[in-house]
Amino acid sequence: MISVDPINITFTIPAQDHLGREGVVGKIRFKNEAAHLDWRLAANVFRGGKGEMKSIILPYGEIEHVEMKRRWFRYRELVIRVSDPSLVAEIPNIDMGKLVLKIDAHSREQAERLAPMIDFKRSLFMFDETEKRLQQIKSE
């Protein structure tokens, strides 16, 4: 049985430069209607504090692929591919709509429930879109 309870995952996206200027911390919440991604730039010496919190709503229809990567028998990374890269273009260290999120240790249990939930939500979205097209064809 697939749980419909929201899944909350705390994550980091490590900085790509050696000085750590563009590291990202955040939380992604998979709710009934869409995934809500809240993020900010991590505090560092160059900026002098934490960045401003920003939010992005990712509809389940825009999520192409979700993959959990294991290391040493535990989930460590969540890889999400988004069909429209402009949705996540503002986030540093994202490559063409591919988010590689390092999962917080406390979020690993939640992450195990994620893949079946995303598949279920995407199938509902695809079903709804097909129904809309069929209704449109019937009305013509």
Task: Compute CA 51 distance to the chain's CA centroid, rounded to the nearest angstrom.
Answer: 19
Contact 35, 7 (CB under 8 A): no
Q: What are the residue ranges spanned by the domains of the chain?
A: 7-139
User: 7-139 has which CATH code?
Assistant: 2.30.29.30
pLDDT at 34: 86
Query: In terms of C-beta density within 10 A (0-12 exposed, 13-18 middle, 19 or more buried), how is residue 8 classed?
Result: middle
Q: How many CB atoms lie within 10 A of CB 90?
A: 10
**How confident is the model over 92-115, as pLDDT tens digits?**
888 888 989 898 887 777 777 777
Query: In terms of C-beta density within 10 A (0-12 exposed, 13-18 middle, 19 or more buried), how is residue 78 classed?
Result: buried
pLDDT at 123: 80
- How confident is the prediction for the chain on average, in pLDDT? 82
Strands 63-71 and 54-59: unpaired
- Chain position carrying tokens 């990712």: 58
**Which stretches of the chain score pLDDT less than 70?**
1-4, 20, 44-49, 73-75
Contact 36, 51 (CB under 8 A): no
